[in-house]
Copies of this chain bind each other. A is one copy, B any other.
Amino acid sequence: MRNIRKSAPGEIAGYPVTAQRRLLLDLIREAGGHIDAKEIYRRASSRDESISLATVYRGLRLFKELGLVDEIRLGEVRGYYEIKRSVEHQHLVCKRCGKVIEFESPLIGEMVAKAQRAYSFNVTKAELYLEGYCQECKKKDS
């Protein structure tokens, strides 16, 4: 983990705000939900032909370190990114059609509290991943 600079102007605290970084953040914001590096690169390329995949990955790593985006995993595959939101949310994924539902649950907080007490941990991150079949896919399969 590199040192993260404190205090700074611009949205990418302490780091140079380049056109590429601005573009990448915009794209992740516009994506609304989760998006992966390849898709970010594809969309970025249509606005800036010369942007490289390496820059996408370097940007994503920086944004993660700064807490601007979260890297999440859906199913077996990690490498999806989304803008960090104030409220933590969890993912429910359909194994057949790939639909992703985001939801919040107060029970998560309870579980974190329990685990902290039981194991004397200081919990900094909690992810719940649920997988199954959505209503339509249940029907289609039967």
Contact = CB atoms under 8 A, between A and B. Distances in A.
Given A73-B78, A78-B76, A101-B119, A126 B129 contact: yes
A124 interface: yes
Interface size class of A (residues with CB under 8 A): 35 or more
Chain copies in the assembled complex: 2
Contact of A127 (B107, B122, B129, B132): B129
A92 B78 contact: no
Interface in A102-136: 103, 105, 107-108, 110-112, 114-116, 118-135
Contacts of A133: 121-122, 124
Contact of A105 (B111, B122, B132): B111
